[in-house]
Structure 1
Amino acid sequence: MAKRVDHEQRRREIATAVWRIAAERGLDSVSMREVAAEAGVSLRLVQYYFETKHNLLVLSLGYLHERGEQRTQARIAAQIDQSVRGVVRTLLTELIPLDSERELSLRVHRAYFSRTHSDPALAKVFLQAETPIEDLLTSLLRRTVLPPGVQPRQEANLLVAGFTGLGLDVLHGRFTPGEVLATLDYHLGRLFQA
């Protein structure tokens, strides 16, 4: 009897190979042949599922975003502190490499961001107009009493950009995860004074 193949699972396994290569060596090192070797599958299989390198990069990025969103939702659902402050903190800690999964995600995003400067087609996909994290943070901040003069959207933009940058600083060894978490808690203490 023929073995049934889960095609979606196979695509995700190949995408994970893209992430490992991108995180270690950058997107310039991602080729269909390298991905096949990393995933332990044939080059023809990678070509069958993704057709072009551009599709491989775009779909792998989509899977990374989906996995990050699922991870964040699970962390929020599991936390005891369901206050706006607690949820905001959880969202922002996803931008800090506190474990191997978040570190991998940040390294892969860094590789994609670097590649957007020389690949306009990838830049169109990676640098979309949508801002889901900022939108969610804005919505959360609108549900609470903020200090006078704080604008929820501008604050959300600043928080995402700031903690993404601090996450990169952790990758480069400029700060420790503990130092960045202390900065996060300091800022949240100022923001959520009530």
Structure 2
Amino acid sequence: MPKLADRDTRHTQILEALLRVAGSQGLHAVTMRSVAAEANISLRLVQYYFETKEKLLLAALDHLAGRQRERIQTRVLDTDAPDDPRTIIEAVLTEALPTDQDSRTFHLVYTAYAVHAVTDPALAAQPFLRAPDAMEHFLADQLRHAQRDGILPPHRDPRTEAAILLALSAGLGTGVLLGQRTAENATTAISYHLDHLGLARRPA
């Protein structure tokens, strides 16, 4: 029986291999055999840890969610004002853009999972695919904090503005993926829109 640490390491190795296959070739190219080849391990070992392709795909979705949460937390904590609503919102929306290989892979694979979920009830039931709902609530809460702090005009509706911000970020992200704009252009557009909302930074 493998030690727990060894199991965790092997799990991560296999799931990272799946994300590489899905990110470079598409989710349709993911099979237990292709993941084994990418991870440079035997097919039997992938089957030992995950049993079926469905379980492998669901586990990879959880892994992808964890990676995204860590990246957002790191980006927020690395800012000069991690408690400022404007800083937090900007960091979250910028992290949602495909600005490097990891975030590009996230966009490609998440989108592929979302499309696949339309015809796969088990996949559609996964909490991570409802992440935009949770993110909308989170952004709306940050906008309410900003209004209480007097750095967002009171006539702005936080829930509606949060939905618009998510739609803006998603559209800009697709544009970056397709080469229609640069990541810098997209980041500038987000900052411009936050200025247009009247969302200021909390005074130091």
Structure 1 CA distance for aligned equivalents of residues 75 and 129 of structure 2: 26
Matched, 1:60 2:68: no
Match of 2:23 in 1: 23
Give the RMSD, CA atoms, in angstroms.
Answer: 2.1
- 1:40 maps onto 2:61 in alignment: no
Output the amino acid matched with 2:65: H
2:193 to 175, 182, 187: 187
Q: Which runs of 5+ in 1 are unaligned?
A: none
Q: Distance in 2 between matches of 1:138 and 1:19?
A: 31
Q: In 1, Cα distance between the equivalents of 2:131 and 2:168?
A: 19
Distance 1:171 1:65, change over 3 A: same
Does 2:140 align with 1:138? yes
Q: Write out per-residue CA displacement over residues 102-156 of structure 1, whole angstroms, 9 at most, x where no aligned residue.
A: 1111111122122223323222225448733222212111101233432212221
CA distance in 2, matches of 1:150, 1:62: 35
Cα distance in 2, alignment partners of residues 130 and 193 from structure 1: 21
Note if contact 2:33-2:43 (Cα within 8 Å) is conserved in structure 1: yes
Partner of 2:116: 115
Q: Distance in 1 between matches of 2:25 and 2:176?
A: 18
**Structure 2: distance between partners of 1:154 and 1:13:** 40
- CA distance in 2 between partners of 1:119 and 1:165 (Å): 25
Matched residue, 2:106: 105
Corresponding residue number in structure 1 for 2:170: 164
Distance 2:75 2:34 in 1: 33
Q: TM-score, normalised by structure 2?
A: 0.86
- Deviation of 1:43 (Å): 0.9
TM-score (normalizing by structure 1): 0.90
SS in 2 for 1:6: helix
Asked whether the equivalents of residues 89 and 142 of structure 2 are also in contact (C-alpha less than 8 Å), the reply is: yes
In structure 2, give the amino acid aligned to 1:65: A
Conserved 8 A contact 1:166-1:180? yes
For 1:151, the equivalent position in structure 2 comes to 157
Judged with a 3 Å threshold, the aligned counterparts in structure 2 of structure 1 residues 181 and 111 are, in CA distance, closer, same or farther, namely same
2:83 is equivalent to residue 77 of structure 1: no
Q: CA deviation at 1:159?
A: 1.2
Aligned residues: 193
3-state SS in 1 of match to 2:146: coil
Q: In 1, are the aligned partners of 2:98 and 2:173 still within 8 Å (CA)?
A: yes
Tell me if structure 2 keeps the 8 A contact 1:85–1:192: no
